[in-house]
Every structure is written in C-alpha cells, then in structure tokens.
Chains A and B, each alone.
Chain A
Amino acid sequence: MGAHNGLRGRGAGKQGFFVVLLLLAVLGYGAWRVGLEAGLDQADFTFANGAEPTSLDPTQTTGAPEGRLMRAIFEGLCVLDPKTLAPLPGMAERWEISADELTYTFHLRSGARWTNGDEVVAADFKAGFARLLDPREAAEYAYLLYCVRGAREYATNVDDSGAALRGFDTVGIRTPDARTLVVELERPVPWFLYLAAYPPLAPLNQRALDEMRAQFPNTWRIERLRPENLVTNGPWRVVERRVNDRIRLARHDQYWDRDNVAFETIDVLASEHLSTNLNLYLTGAVGFVNEVPAGVVPRLAGRADWNPTPYLATYFYRVNVTRPPLDDARVRRALALAIDRRALTSKITRAGEPPLYSWVPSAITPVTGYVPPALRTTTEDPVADYARDVAEAQRLLREAGYGPGARALRRIEIHYNTQSTNRDIAEVVARDWKLHLGLDVKLTNQEKKVALDTQRRLDYDISRSTWIADYPDPASFLEVLTQASANNRTGFADARYDALLAEALTARGAERKRLYAEAEARLLELLPIIPLFGFTTTSLVDPRLAGFHPNNLDIHFPKFWRWNADGERR
C-alpha cells in the first residue's frame, strides 16, 4: 500500500475529486434507501424488552424478554390477573379440578381463532404439550410438564437417535371432544393453573406446522417462525421482525377478546444497553423499560413511575462444598453470617431489595402463603442483629479450628460474572470477610459462559449466581439443590434433604408447606449456598399506562395494557 507517495501530479487531483464526489453520492443514496426501508410508522405503544428473543417458538424459549413477547402473541388456557395474579379464563372458558387435585378438566371457549382463521381446539393444546415434551424437539422447559402422568417417562426414555421410546398416548393428556382438554397429574401441583398461563404451554396449530414441513422439508424450523408464516392465537400477531432492532406486533382481528385489546400496534424493542434504554424512556420514545442501570437507581426514588417490587428471584453465592475448608458447614455458616446484607441492599443495589436469610425469597409469602425459615433470628434492631451474627461467625470459625491462635484459613476466591453490580457486591462481601473473619479473599471476574462451565466442573470456591422461579412455589427453588438436580453445581448431597422433598411431592396443603419448611431449614443449616438478597423489579413504566401492575412474579400480560382515560399520547 505504500505505492502512492509520489502522487503529487497535476492530473491526479481531478480524478481524486471525482472519486470523492462519486463516493459521497453512492453513500448518500445508500443511506437514503436504507432509511426508507427502515421507515415504519410509529406504533401505538413501544417498550424496551431487553435482549433479542432467542426464538418465537414458545417451546424453545426460557428467558424473561421472550416471555413478555410470547404473552402478547400466544394465549394459553388461562391468563393471570394483572393485579392479583389470580388465574383468569384465557383460551379455556372455565375449568374443573377434581377433589384429589389430580385431574384438571379445561373447557375451551368457542370462537377463539388462530391468525390463519382456524378455530383453537383442545387438540391444539395437546399438540403443543406433545411438542414441548418430545425429546427430539429438545425443549429446555420440558420439565415443567413432568408433573403430568407419564410425561417424565415419555420425555426421558429415548432411543439412540434421541426419539422417545414410548408413545405420547402414555402421557395423561386427553381430548374427549374438540373443546375439552383433560390433564391428569401424577401428584397434586398447586401451581398448575399458573403453568397453564405460562408461554411454553401455549397451543400449537398443527396444520400450519405440517404445511410448512411439506413446503420447506429442510428449513421448516426456521421458515415457520418468519413473521409471514407464524400462526399465533394471542391478542397480537407478528408483522415484522428485525433482529436486534424490533418486533412489530399488530392486533389479531379474530382474537376472541379483540374489543378489549387497546393497542392496534406494539413495537417490542430489542436493546441490551441499559443506559440507552433509559434514555429512550426518558425522551418518551418507549413507555416501559424492563431494567435500568444500577447507577441511576438512587436518583429514581420518589418518581411516580418507579415502583420496585420484590419478585421470586434470589441473588446468592454458590459454595463448593467439596473443597476444604468449605466442606465444613461451620465455615460456610460463618461466611454466611458475616455478610452485612443490609449494607448491600441499602448502599449498592438500592432498589429496596429485601436482604435474604433464606433460600426461597420472602416475596413468596404473599403468593403462596409459604413462610421461609431463616438462617438467623431477626429482631427490631438490625445493627445489634448484625453484631450478634458477626460474633457468632467468629465463634463458629474458632470452633472449626481456624482463626487467631489456630490454623489460618486459606485464601478464598469469589467468582463473579462481568457486571459492575456483581463486582461491587463481591467487593463488599470480601471486605466483610476480611474485616470480621480475617479472610484473604480474591475476586475473579469470569465471563458468563466460562463461569457456568467452572461451576459445572466444581472448579471454584464461591461463585455468584441468580435463581429465578419457574413457577410460584417453594419447590421451584428447593428442587434446585437436590443431589440429582443438574442445577445444583455445589457438590451438595444430603439424603435427608432429598427425602423431605420427595415426601413433599405427594403431600398436600399445610403438610406440604411444613415439609418444605423443614427441608429449607435443613438447607440453611448446611448452607451449600449463601443467599444475599431477593431481587426487585427495576422497571420504569409510563404512569399513564393502565393495566400494568408491579407484581411478585414480574409477569405482565400486554392484553390488559391501555392508556389511562386522561392519558393522551405524547
């Protein structure tokens, strides 16, 4: 490239000028064209949804951004009341639950239609559930339906090619007629109606899928999810999708409750940069933003649109119980007690997160009535409580044979994944441990995927994690730490704990809650995890948006959204 040094001649300049002008013209034209194509008229409502959805196939997704989108384009058997979270009729008009809580009979409404004009029938739900459970479809959320009779056996017994060994007729899902769906459960599942409102349990239009399969034998999996081919049954349908930009939704004209759907069009923006989303919200470009940067939280206090609400998610540290000295429950307990959780939530996260002394977050109580036990007693005086905890922690360490005059604890490493809040929290935890227990703590930042891999191989001391409930029940948390669970990743294995949970599976009512409380108490004694705090939502919602209520599941059904009577659009 060094050949142009001598270019000072008189003739060269003219062409140079020409090149520049030509380039400008081409660029200008290109930019103009792209700008034209990009032009969509403004939607009635726009919200910032976080990451780009992994898929528009309800059986293939697990994340929160996907959930918000799915609830707009699909509708399950029920929906949840935006305020009370009580199950309301969706595709099912009414339902009956047998006295033993094992049989659910759903009666589908007539006149509910798919976007291709087909009527929504019971077989569509059966097809959807079958697809969710089919091992060849590899749906991550298949286990949600394992409570159905025969479902687990169907989904987990596979031949060499990965196909199910049993027929789907072994699963307890029946359609006596076109409008009746009967689901037989293996054991009582108090949260089953919540599941019925959950996107992975959406119905499936088998006809549309078969057509796509015939038309695109090799690429149907992708083709059928393109906006022009996607058949949905919810309040909206997808009309346009641009990866990493937006998904444009338009009202589904044959939706059964169409008259109560306020917005003609909705734009679901995909943008992961939190400051950008905040700026979009502050300029009125979006009416709802699901998360704000941690740094601005203190400045939001007192705003009408800022209502942080605890939901079912725990911020915790995993402890590798296979590694000395962390194999000693006393050491783990000392570590758990020495953390000043109030400092974390009041000075770092600052969105009103409840400090957690239990594995199941306290936000569960209003939803299910379950009161989690705590790893320490709490009185009116938090300062004295913490002082007592610290003294207890020091005593435990001495008892375990560490500390002044005894063995010194080796250096403990905390792994956290890249994010400034995680870093700040780890810094404070490290400081507490250093200050009160004399520990030498090292902080290591790991990229998310590497961190997960490290956890799986039990190649860590302490590793940061989050657990968000799949369904509103203590089991969603407690099952994580059974020996058989792939999500355990702490090396923790306790026969008694597993037995208690197994027993709770078939128990009902108060007995069930008691067993769970006992199991959790056992867990908090052995502490393979150190709970730090429960999450709160950090969303900002336009105060003029009605039908949107902060709730303990952070689940929102867009079908209830509308502008206040007096709320003019900006």
Chain B
Amino acid sequence: MGALLRWKLDAPAVTPERGAALGAEAWRRLRRNRVAWWSLMFLALVGLTSLLAPLLPLPSPAALELSAEPTPPAGPWTSIGNHGFQREYWPLSSVDERLVDARVALFGDWQTGPWLGTDSKGRDLLSRIVWGSRTSIAVALLAMLTSLVIGVTWGAFAGFVGGRTDRVMMRIVDVLYSLPFIFIVIFLITILQGWKDLLETRLGLNREAVFYLSIGAVYWLTMARVVRGQVLSLRHAEFVDAARQMGASTARILFVHIVPNVFGIIIVYLTLSIPSVMLFESFLTFLGLGIEAPRVSWGLLAVDGADTIHPLGIDWWLLVWPAVAMGTTLLALNILGDGLRDALDPKSALAAKGAAQT
C-alpha cells in the first residue's frame, strides 16, 4: 500500500501557485461535494463513538466466557439487551475509568445484546469493534503525528535551505525509500522489544507506544517529500521575502510563515495515509507483530475472522463485520482525502470532473 500512496501523492497536480491553505473558500467547496461531506460526517460519528466507547452500554470487550461457542448475530429486534454486564477491561486511563463509572451509573448492569454476534470466547463482537476502533484510530493518529513532526521538519528545512543541504537530505530520504518498509518496521519492533527495560522504565513507553512510533518512523518519508516540494515553491514568495527583510529568523520564517501555508496539503496527505496505516496495522497483526492481548484492534479482529475461513462451519460474522467496519471507515477516509484535495485545488477537480467523487 505504501507504494500506491506514494504515487498517489507524487503524481496528481497538487501544485498550487501559492500555498494551499485550508481557507474558507476550500471549506465551502468541500461542503458542496456531497459525498465527501457525508464521509466527513460519518468519520466524525466513528470518532465520537470510539472516544465515548466506555460510556456506551456495551458488554465488556475483555470478559472471557470460556466454554462459549461463537454465536451468530441476533439483531436488536430479537434481544435488545440484558443485565449481564461485567466490568472487566484492560488497564484503562483515568479518564476512561471515569467514563466507565458514568456508564455504570447511567445504565447499571444493562448491556446490549449480541447484535453482531459473539466470538469463540463469548465476547461481544459489536463491543470489540467499537473498542477496536480506538486502537486502530490511535495507531493511525499517533503514527501520523510522529510522521508529521519528523516529516514536516525534515521536508520544510530541506526545501527552505535548498542547495547542497537539500540534496543530501533528500538523498537520505531516497535511500530510506529503497529499504523494504516492512522489514524496517519488523526490525524496529523486535529491536525495541529487546530494549524493553530502557523504554519502559526509563522513558515510560509501553509496547503500544513503541508500535505507533515504529510505524510513524517509516511513514515520514513521503511527508518530507511532499512538504519539501511545497516549501520549494514558496521559498521565494513575496510574503516570505517580506518576512526575511524584516529580519525574521530561519526557524521563524519556516514555522510561522511557510508551514501554515502548506498545511492544507499536509491535511490531505494525512487523510490519505491513515487508511494505509490502518491496513498496515492489520498486516502486522497478521504476521503476529501487532497489538497485545487483551487489547483489541480492527486488524486483530480481521485476522481472527480470516482464521475462521474453512468449511468446518464458517462463522461469517467474525469476518464480515470487522471487514465492514474497516472498509467503510477507510472508504470514507479515501473519499474525504480526494474531496479535500479537490477542494484545495479546484483546477484538478475541474479537470477530473466526476472522478473527484470516487
């Protein structure tokens, strides 16, 4: 997926004359794009649900029911809910603990029924999908944040300074590009596992954080390229010259004047790479390098679901629902990303006509 994304960003004509800020104009254009707008709304809903997961009257995503067999979905019309809630989670943050307190105060031990079915350990699939979305979204956002920090700094600096520094910096990016991407992540994860003591006790990072950082550490390359390209075109813009003449420092010019102007393209890039990060997470989980039990992520659910594919009795819901959750979210992100790109660059939207809505 990495290569696909790289191309997607390198190729399209996202070369506005001046930095494409996410201004009111672009916002208006985005709202006019019906499909993209609905995607945004859908994503907001997904985000909100995952944020408020502890508050929702869902069964515990972790409580094991050992001898249970997977049960097929029973829609809300057959069993709206029951009073079997067990307060069992992995270690939660204090905010989440409060939310669970609120949930218990609000709903007591009432919980929703197995609307989407249960897995082989009797855990409710709907609950696991909702809680899994938290991990997947966190992976995506944190990895993106890491790549944002490294990539923007690297790219903006290279683009702004130019000359030999620029060339050397971009060559380093090229070299890193030609390393197999998966390979690096596997290495980072295994190396960092070996240095657990240092990371956990001294730096306070847990395995999840290490996981996010490892992904982020390989995703910054494209970001650096994109930002550099933009900065290069802005380097001699009037407002930059003006700032320079007023005696602003390089860092100030870079981060106060230039970076905000390339923010639009950064947003586009982020929206488009989140799906690939999410897919990557599932891919790593498939290889046994993913998130740690009892936590759950969409990738883990998809892998568990894929394991049920054999003719000895197909628990279809274990594959279909996680795939649907993942598919729709990624779909929406893709549509939104395209929509944003068109909104920021009306020229390409005009040229591609209907393609923009895909």
> Is there direct touching of A and B in the complex, by C-beta distance under 8 Å?
yes
Please give the residue numbers on chain A whose beta carbons come within 8 Å of chain B beta carbons, in ascending order.
1-2, 4-5, 275, 278-279, 282, 293, 295-296, 298-300, 343, 346-348, 418-420, 423-424, 426-428, 431, 443-447, 450, 453
Question: Contact at B64–A275, with CB atoms within 8 Å?
Answer: no
Enumerate 29 A-B pairs (CB-CB under 8 Å) in ascending A order.
A1-B7, A1-B10, A1-B11, A2-B11, A2-B229, A4-B11, A5-B13, A275-B306, A275-B307, A278-B310, A295-B120, A295-B308, A296-B312, A299-B312, A299-B313, A343-B66, A346-B67, A347-B66, A347-B67, A418-B289, A419-B288, A423-B293, A426-B293, A427-B64, A431-B64, A443-B293, A443-B294, A447-B289, A450-B194
Q: Please, what's the 1-or-0 string for B293-334, where 1 marks a CB less than 8 Å from any CB in chain A?
A: 110000000001011111111000000000000000000000
Contacts of B13 in A (CB 8 A): 5
Interface centre among A2, A346, A418, A427 (most CB of B within 10 A): A2
Q: Please, what's the 1-or-0 string for B1-27, where 1 marks a CB less than 8 Å from any CB in chain A?
A: 000000100110100000000000000
Contacts of A348 in B (CB 8 A): 66
C-alpha spacing A450/B66, complex, angstroms: 30
Q: A4-B11, A428-B66 are in contact. Are A282 and B194 (CB under 8 A)?
A: no
Q: A1-B10, A4-B11, A424-B121 are in contact. Are A443 and B312 (CB under 8 A)?
A: no
Q: A2-B11, A347-B67, A427-B294 are in contact. Are A300 and B310 (CB under 8 A)?
A: no
Question: Contact at B194–A453, with CB atoms within 8 Å?
Answer: yes
Q: A295-B120, A424-B121, A427-B64 are in contact. Are A443 and B292 (CB under 8 A)?
A: yes
Question: Contact at B10–A418, with CB atoms within 8 Å?
Answer: no
Contacts of B292 in A (CB 8 A): 443-445
Q: Which chain B residues numbered 226 to 250 have a C-beta less than 8 Å away from chain A? A: 229
In this assembly, does B193 line the interface, its C-beta being within 8 Å of a C-beta of chain A? Answer: yes
Q: A427-B293, A450-B190, A450-B193 are in contact. Are A2 and B69 (CB under 8 A)?
A: no
C-alpha spacing A348/B121, complex, angstroms: 9
Question: Contact at B11–A5, with CB atoms within 8 Å?
Answer: yes
C-alpha spacing A424/B229, complex, angstroms: 49
C-alpha spacing A172/B207, complex, angstroms: 54
How distant is A537 from chain B, measured CB to nearest CB, in Å?
18
When A and B form their complex, which 4 residue pairs have the shortest distance between CB atoms, in order from nearest?
A347-B66, A418-B288, A423-B293, A299-B312
How distant is B187 from chain A, measured CB to nearest CB, in Å?
11
How distant is B74 from chain A, measured CB to nearest CB, in Å?
21
Q: Nearest residue in A to B13 (C-beta to C-beta)?
A: A5
C-alpha spacing A348/B307, complex, angstroms: 16
Contacts of B194 in A (CB 8 A): 450, 453
How distant is B279 from chain A, measured CB to nearest CB, in Å?
20
Contacts of B306 in A (CB 8 A): 275
Question: Contact at B64–A282, with CB atoms within 8 Å?
Answer: no
Q: Which chain B residues numbered 265 to 310 have a C-beta less than 8 Å away from chain A? A: 288-289, 292-294, 304, 306-310
Contacts of A419 in B (CB 8 A): 288
Interface centre among A282, A295, A444, A446 (most CB of B within 10 A): A295
The 8 Å CB contact of A446, one of B193, B309, B311, B312, is: B193
Q: Which chain B residues numbered 41 to 70 have a C-beta less than 8 Å away from chain A? A: 64, 66-67, 69
Q: Nearest residue in A to B7 (C-beta to C-beta)?
A: A1
Interface centre among A279, A419, A426, A445 (most CB of B within 10 A): A445
How distant is A154 from chain B, measured CB to nearest CB, in Å?
37
Please give the residue numbers on chain B whose beta carbons come within 8 Å of chain A beta carbons, in ascending order.
7, 10-11, 13, 64, 66-67, 69, 120-121, 190, 193-194, 196, 207, 229, 288-289, 292-294, 304, 306-313
Question: Contact at B11–A282, with CB atoms within 8 Å?
Answer: no
Contacts of B120 in A (CB 8 A): 295
Question: Contact at A295–B288, with CB atoms within 8 Å?
Answer: no
Contacts of B207 in A (CB 8 A): 444-445
Q: Nearest residue in B to A274 (C-beta to C-beta)?
A: B307
Contacts of A300 in B (CB 8 A): 312
Q: Nearest residue in B to A443 (C-beta to C-beta)?
A: B293
C-alpha spacing A1/B190, complex, angstroms: 33
Question: Contact at B10–A2, with CB atoms within 8 Å?
Answer: yes
Contacts of A424 in B (CB 8 A): 121, 293
How distant is A439 from chain B, measured CB to nearest CB, in Å?
14
C-alpha spacing A446/B293, complex, angstroms: 12
Contacts of B69 in A (CB 8 A): 298
Q: A1-B11, A5-B13, A299-B312 are in contact. Are A293 and B66 (CB under 8 A)?
A: no
Q: Nearest residue in A to B91 (C-beta to C-beta)?
A: A442
How distant is B298 from chain A, measured CB to nearest CB, in Å?
17
The 8 Å CB contact of A428, one of B64, B190, B309, is: B64
Contacts of A279 in B (CB 8 A): 310
C-alpha spacing A191/B203, complex, angstroms: 53
Contacts of B307 in A (CB 8 A): 275, 293, 295
Question: Contact at A447–B190, with CB atoms within 8 Å?
Answer: yes
Contacts of B121 in A (CB 8 A): 424
The 8 Å CB contact of A275, one of B67, B294, B310, is: B310
Q: Nearest residue in A to B288 (C-beta to C-beta)?
A: A418
C-alpha spacing A428/B294, complex, angstroms: 11
How distant is A301 from chain B, measured CB to nearest CB, in Å?
11
Question: Contact at A282–B66, with CB atoms within 8 Å?
Answer: no
Contacts of A347 in B (CB 8 A): 66-67
Contacts of A293 in B (CB 8 A): 307
Contacts of B289 in A (CB 8 A): 418, 447
Contacts of A346 in B (CB 8 A): 67
C-alpha spacing A419/B293, complex, angstroms: 11
Query: Given known contacts A282-B311, A295-B308, what 10 new A-B pairs fall within 8 Å (CB)?
Result: A2-B229, A275-B306, A278-B310, A296-B312, A298-B69, A347-B67, A443-B292, A443-B294, A445-B293, A447-B289
Interface centre among A347, A419, A428 (most CB of B within 10 A): A347
C-alpha spacing A216/B306, complex, angstroms: 48
Contacts of A343 in B (CB 8 A): 66
C-alpha spacing A419/B190, complex, angstroms: 16
How distant is A172 from chain B, measured CB to nearest CB, in Å?
44
How distant is B159 from chain A, measured CB to nearest CB, in Å?
14
The 8 Å CB contact of A282, one of B293, B294, B308, B310, is: B310
Contacts of B311 in A (CB 8 A): 282
C-alpha spacing A453/B190, complex, angstroms: 12
C-alpha spacing A1/B6, complex, angstroms: 10
Contacts of B7 in A (CB 8 A): 1
How distant is A304 from chain B, measured CB to nearest CB, in Å?
14
C-alpha spacing A445/B206, complex, angstroms: 12
Q: Nearest residue in B to A2 (C-beta to C-beta)?
A: B10
Contacts of B309 in A (CB 8 A): 275
C-alpha spacing A299/B69, complex, angstroms: 10
C-alpha spacing A422/B284, complex, angstroms: 18
Q: Nearest residue in A to B63 (C-beta to C-beta)?
A: A431
C-alpha spacing A275/B193, complex, angstroms: 28
How distant is B206 from chain A, measured CB to nearest CB, in Å?
10
C-alpha spacing A447/B288, complex, angstroms: 9
Q: Nearest residue in A to B190 (C-beta to C-beta)?
A: A447
Contacts of A2 in B (CB 8 A): 10-11, 229
C-alpha spacing A428/B122, complex, angstroms: 14
Q: Nearest residue in A to B287 (C-beta to C-beta)?
A: A418
Q: Nearest residue in B to A422 (C-beta to C-beta)?
A: B293
How distant is A341 from chain B, measured CB to nearest CB, in Å?
13
C-alpha spacing A419/B120, complex, angstroms: 16
Q: Nearest residue in A to B293 (C-beta to C-beta)?
A: A423
C-alpha spacing A444/B293, complex, angstroms: 9
Q: A1-B11, A295-B307 are in contact. Are A282 and B288 (CB under 8 A)?
A: no
Contacts of A299 in B (CB 8 A): 312-313
How distant is A275 from chain B, measured CB to nearest CB, in Å?
6
C-alpha spacing A445/B196, complex, angstroms: 11
Q: Nearest residue in A to B313 (C-beta to C-beta)?
A: A299
Contacts of B229 in A (CB 8 A): 2
How distant is A461 from chain B, measured CB to nearest CB, in Å?
13
C-alpha spacing A423/B293, complex, angstroms: 7
C-alpha spacing A348/B310, complex, angstroms: 19
C-alpha spacing A295/B229, complex, angstroms: 50
